[in-house]
Amino acid sequence: MAGSEEDISLVCSVKICYLNNQGNVSRQIANPKTFLQLGRNEFRDIVLKVECGKVQANFKICDMTLHTRFVKEGKSTISLKEPPLQMFISNCPVGKLSMFLKVLMAKVKSSKDAKAVSAKDRLQALKPPSFQEISPLSTIDINILNNKVGCNITGKSTFNQTPKSSKRKRDLDEKENTTPSRKVVAVARPIAPRLLTMEQKRVMSAVLTGRNVFFTGSAGTGKSFLLKRILGALAPENTFATASTGVAACQIGGITLHAFAGIGSGTAPLQQCIEQALQKGKSSWKQCQHLIVDEISMVDGEFFEKLEKIAQIVRRNDKPFGGIQLILSGDFLQLPPVSKKGENRLFCFQSEAWRNSIDVNIELRMVKRQNDKNFINILNDVRRGRCSKDVIQKLKATHKHQIDKDGILATKLSTHKDDVDIINNSHLEHLPGQLQVYRAVDSCPELARFMNNHCYVVEKIELKVGAQVMLTKNLDLQRGLVNGARGVITGFDIGKEKLPIVKFVCGIEQAVNYEKWTVRAPSGIVLMRKMLPLQLAWAMSIHKSQGMTLDCVEVSLGRVFECGQAYVALSRARSLEGLRVLDIEPSSIRADPKVLKFYSQLDYENSHQTEIEDYL
């Protein structure tokens, strides 16, 4: 019972505790598949309709408290004073829960000004009981939500933010108090939903109907955005978000595919991997109903086949991948799987496991990262390995671009990781002034190594005035403070933390505070790292830049050694004006023939599907 993405009703796990006069639980009911829906009764009161097993009830929402601290985990609590009860919601799709609570909050707030119907008038009205589904949020509702509620919900408000419980309080909370941070309640943020394209809606529809889906597309077509929307539409307890690399996994709040599987590097023989999975990954495999894999292009085909065998044996289910729904995302025309020299590379789509399991293949075509059609056409040619004289000339002409601005230098994308560390450390060392050192604070310090492999930010960063830096997290989309935004350190504030002051390309200059990253361990435990959302940015590896959008990029393609590497590097730029290519030859631009053949078949399938949809 997945429902549509826009539907604000919920199907989730609910426990209702009825309270007596002393506040103790007098009766409770629970059901893992409870239906919740907002509506209005015959007197236009806000009503919460609950179908919890055999129990069906409509609760009038008048005086309530919302506990929203764990919305991002698919959990919330609604406390009512009349009747006195607590409703514990869990295992709810995060996106749907967030929208549900936003609508509830806005509608209750807007109804506060309406004249209440007296008990006498209700009795005399003789109206038959009725239930009408709540209307969508209007502009007035959104204004009320933004202006009256704001970003922080006070303890005295009808809607209370949950205080930190002693059970969940850790040393990290005490350290948090020393660093001022923005307190944002998920359900009180301004509502500005970004609409899905028709292509993205096709993917979402396939996912919500339980199909095994692979969706792809060139850089900037909204794959990451869609993946996050999909995550928000699925029950979190049974959905595992994974990726082929730790960096990609961190971007979606997940873990690496290897960590999920519980088989280490996965290079051991199949039987040994099965034994490892039965010991380390059994609970994950058993619990999983939806497996999301981002950057699937970098997953080796043999490893993919091995995973299917493990899933079938651990789950004792002969269906493809043991009956788990697969949701795969990536671009095989970007970085390929890592293979040893001389070994024949097998892509996932070449494997028997892929042919047996994937029902739907969809390519996203609408580019959102770049607006310049000329640049988009160049990138499309490079992606497909097409290298005309015109493309080469246009890219070579960028070497004259003056993209350094206000002390902010272009980030050099390097084909080799070792070069990146040498460049960054050398530039930092040669800067004058005092070195400031910042260290991450982890909720579980003994798992710091795991966090280093799965979290986008490093354990330690050293900075000086003049250091070239890059944001590693979205802070303020409207002001241009987004993941990949470039800047330069102009100073340090006078507070205890000596937070770095950064001047960004967009013109904003401000102190950058600590932010939080969460990573879900294979055991299900949510780990948290608190760190400055910055990294040194004189240089960056092409591999690590995958999925990012950069303001000013300098690329040297003379040492390209992989198919798709040149395309990944060039497509990091937001525009042709923000790109400087130092050296490029036709041999730098290449695409794997096997991948091109796969995408030609995909083109045919998608065009055929489009013709059918147009006809219908």
Positions at the binding site for ATP: 217-224
The two structure tokens encoding residue 11: 């199907």
Strand partners, 27: 18
Total residues belonging to the chain: 616
Per the CB < 8 A criterion, the answer to whether 294 and 214 are in contact is no
| 255-256 and 325-329 strand pairing | unpaired
Beta strands in 302-445 (DSSP E): 325-329, 360-364, 411-414, 436-439, 441-442
CA distances from 398 to 356, 505, 530, 570, 579 (A): 46, 19, 39, 11, 7
Query: Which residues, other chains included, contact 20 with Cβ-Cβ below 8 Å and sequence gap of 6+?
Result: 26, 84
Query: Quick one: CA dihedral 531, 520, 257, 379, positive or negative?
Result: negative
105-136 burial code (b ≥16 CB/10 A, e <16): bbbbbbbeeeeeeeeeeeeeeeeeeeeeebee
Q: Give one DSSP letter per residue of 118-142, joined into a string.
A: PHHHHHHH-PPP--EEPPPPPHHHH
What residues form the annotated binding site? 217-224
Residues 598, 355: Cα–Cα separation, whole Å = 12
Which residue, among 52, 74, 79, has the nearest Cα to 64 in the 3D structure?
79
| Residue linked to tokens 């850089």 | 219
**Phi (first) and psi of residue 132, to 5 degrees:** -120, 130
- Give the number of other Cβ atoms within 10 Å of residue 478's Cβ: 8
| 360-364 and 213-217 strand pairing | parallel
Residues 154, 329: Cα–Cα separation, whole Å = 41
